[in-house]
Structure 1
Amino acid sequence: MSLTQIIKFPTHSDERGSLIALEGNDMIPFDIKRVYYIFGTQSGVSRGFHAHVHLKQVAVCVAGKCKMRLDNGREQEEIWLDSPDKGLLIEGLIWREMHEFSPDCVLMVFASESYDESDYIRNYTEFLRQAGL
């Protein structure tokens, strides 16, 4: 089973430009409780380095690009998020890291729950323990 679950968003385009509409429980496969975005990441800076116990997320680069590294404790996969019509579904107990942000990168994340620090696993050894490895 692949760690990278890509959702291709339908794009509506005409002479005026393009539009993508996202709704919870439709193109985003859960109720959206929180949306945040990361931008202005300095060259050479990586982010993430955590997992969630239950939280589901869909990450979309609405501008620029970044490399996502996903890890379930047994295998790792990397994927470039480089198009606003491509979303990456990340479910619970997946370690995630973001690398190689382009200067213009805006990474938007749709989350299934509101912020809850107790859902974060910020230590890789603890992540492996909770993943049963």
Structure 2
Amino acid sequence: MADYPAPHLIHFPKLGDPGIGYISVGENVQDSLPFAVQRVFWTYYTPESIVRGRHAHHRTEQVLIAVAGRIIVTTELADGDIQIHRLEDPYVGLYIPPCAWHTMQYSHTAVQLALASQPYREDDYIRDYDTFRQTWAPKA
């Protein structure tokens, strides 16, 4: 099984100024993205009371970006390491490896952009928490 870095924040360049606005760029050639992007999707108009995610992946790595609003992302590794990340700057992304169970809770105005390393495949998802723990448990 491959080793992946732990979930961590990625700061993209923030180019511009308040008078003209800003642009942020992520490119594989500049090492800002840790994988080649194979799929892009976005989430929006999610009620604040809803917790989404509740899964991990076998192969897919992701970077999540709150391009608008606020997203609270909780990640958990199979060894029990839990991290809580508050995404609210559009130039900051959160890297999520396949081995991380993750949940997201959104402000109503949040728009989440997700960059994924793999095309969608249902069999890549681990939707049962106990299966996640067994799949990614540290090997002795």
The two structures have a TM-score, normalised by structure 1, of 0.92
Three-state SS of the structure 1 residue aligned to 2:72 is: strand
For residues 1-133 of structure 1, the aligned pairs below 5 Å read 3-14=6-17, 15-25=19-29, 26-73=31-78, 74-99=80-105, 101-132=106-137
Structure 1 gap ranges (5+): none
Per-residue CA deviations over 1:26-63 (Å, capped at 9, x if unaligned) read 32111110000000001201100000011110000000
**Across the two proteins, how many residue pairs are aligned to each other?**
131
Percentage identity across paired residues of the two chains:
31
The two structures have a TM-score, normalised by structure 2, of 0.88
Instruction: Tell me how large the CA RMSD over aligned residues is.
Output: 1.5
Q: Which runs of 4+ in 1 moved over 4 A?
A: none
Structure 2 gap ranges (5+): none
Q: Which whole-Å CA distance do the structure 1 matches of 2:36 and 2:6 have between them?
A: 21
Per-residue CA deviations over 1:57-97 (Å, capped at 9, x if unaligned) read 00000000010000012221101011101110011111000
Q: Which whole-Å CA distance do the structure 1 matches of 2:75 and 2:52 have between them?
A: 12
